[in-house]
Amino acid sequence: MTNSRRGYGGVSGAEKDALIAGLREARKNRQSRPDAPPPPVRPRVTAFDFSRLADYKDLRIQHAAAQMMGIENPFFRAHDGLAAAETVIDGKRYLNFASYNYLGLNGHPDVKAAAQAAIERYGTSVSASRLVAGERPIHREFELALARHYGTEDSIVYVSGHATNVSTIGTLIGPKDLIMVDALIHNSVSEGARLSGAARLTFPHNDWQAVRDLLLKVRGQYDHVLIVIEGLYSMDGDFPDLPRFIEVKSEFDAWLMVDEAHSLGVLGKTGGGIAEHFGIDPTSIELWMGTLSKTLSGCGGYIAGSSALVDYLKVKSPGFVYSVGLSPALAAAGLASLRLMEAEPWRVAKVRDNGHHFVEAAQAAGLDTGLSQGYAVVPVIVGDSAQAAVLADRVFKRGLNALPIIYPAVPEKQARLRFFITSEHSFEQIDEAIRITAEELAVIREAGSVFQQLSGA
C-alpha cells in the first residue's frame, strides 16, 4: 500500500529525499568545476607628467643657467601697492618703467570712486553673458562714449584685449579671405589670423608699398581682404603712415583694422590716437580696436566702428557671446578714465614730453632706442637675450624696474629692455633711469669684450 502521508509543507518523504539528493549532486558538480579566473588587473591610471614636455625641459635649463649666473627671475614680481612712476617690491622702492599707466589714471581718485560706485550698485560681476542675462546700463554708457570719441556709430567691449582681436578677426574673415599683417603685429592678431582659416600674408614693418605690391598680384583671389596694423607698436614705439594705408585699402576694396592698444591717450594733441595725430577722419577706417588696460585703467578690449559691424559682432563673435560681460567696475573705471583724458589734455602733453626727453637723453648716453619716436614706448636694444636678462637684473639691483624682452618675443639680436613712459615720471627720474642703464650696460659689454679676447687668445 502506497504511503500517501505528506510531510511538513506538503512534501512527502520520498519527494524530500529526492530534493536532498538533487542538492547534494549540484554541490558536488560545483565543487568539481575549475575555479573561475580572477578579474583582470586594471593598470594604474596616472595623470600625464607635463615636465616631460620638451619645451618645459628647455625652460628648466634656462632657469638653471640663470641661477648659475646669479640672475633672479625678473617676471611675476609682486608689487606691494599701486605701480606708478615708482613702485614698492618686497618693501623696497624702485623707479618703475614697467607699467602701462600712461596717463597716471590708474589710482586716480575719480577712477577709483567710479569703480567703487559701480560695485555698490551692480556688484563685482554681471554673472553671465550680456547676450542672455548680463547687460547693465554702464556697459552701453561706456560703449557709446568710446564711439563718440572715435566719431563712429557704435562700439563693443570685451572682457579681454587679446580675445578682442582673436574673436573679431575669426568672426569677420574665413577660408575664402585674406588677412595681411605687419611683421611686428601683436600676438593676438597673429592668433586670430591663424584660427580664422584665412590665407595670411606678412608684410615688412610699416611698408604700405609692399602691401600695395602684394595686392596687385593676389587681390582677385579672395572675397575679403583685411589689413591689420597698430597705432603704436608695443615693442618698438613707432607708428605707421596711416594715410598711405588708407589709400591702399581703398584702392583694393580692403578693410583696415587699427590696433590702438598703445596709441589711445598717447598720440594726438588730446590723446585721440593715430587718427588725431594725422588729422584724418576716423570713419575712413573700418575697425578701431583698443584695450582697456593702458590709458583706460582696466582690463578688456573694444571694437569701434559702424552699427552694422557692432550688431554683427554682438551675436556672432564667440569672445563676446560665450563670455561673461565686462565687470561693472571695469566699465566704470574705463569711462571715468576716458572722461579725464578728454578733460585734462595736459596729461597727454606730459607723456609726450617725457617720451621725447627719454629718447633724446638715451641717445645722448649712447643707448640704442631703435625705431622709437618717443611716444610712451622706448626700447633700449642690447643684443642677445642673455645680455638683456643680465642687464635687467643689474639695474633692478640698483633700484630700477625695467623688464627684458627676449627671443622669441623679438629677434634674438634685438633683445632689449623696454621702458614705458608715463605722464607721472619726472625728467629727474628719467635721467636717473638712463644713467643706471648706460652704466650697467657698459659693464656688461666690457666683461663680454674681455671674455672674447681671452677666448681668442
In three-state secondary structure terms, 201 is strand
CA atoms within 13 A on the CB side of 42: 3
Cα 359 from chain centroid?
26
* Structure-block grid coordinates of residue 349: 602733453
DSSP string, 80-123: SS--SSEEEETTEEEEE-----TTS-TT-HHHHHHHHHHHHHH-
Q: Which residues make Cβ contacts (< 8 Å) with residue 160, sequence separation at least 6? A: 299, 300, 301, 319, 323
How far apart CA 323 and CA 387 sit, in angstroms, is 41
For 69-78, the CB contacts below 8 A with 24+ separation are 69/390, 70/393, 71/389, 71/390, 71/393, 72/393, 72/396, 74/389, 74/392, 74/393, 74/396, 74/403, 74/404, 75/403, 77/401
How far apart CA 126 and CA 333 sit, in angstroms, is 15
Enumerate the active-site residues. 234, 262, 294
Phi-psi label, residue 103: left if phi above 0, alpha if psi -120 to 50, beta otherwise? alpha
What 8-state DSSP symbol labels residue 420? E
Q: Which residues make Cβ contacts (< 8 Å) with residue 23, sequence separation at least 6? A: none
How far apart CA 309 and CA 111 sit, in angstroms, is 30
* Structure-block grid coordinates of residue 118: 559701480
Residue 242 and residue 274 in contact, taking contact as beta carbons nearer than 8 Å: yes
Helix-helix angle 346-364:328-343, to 10 degrees? 80
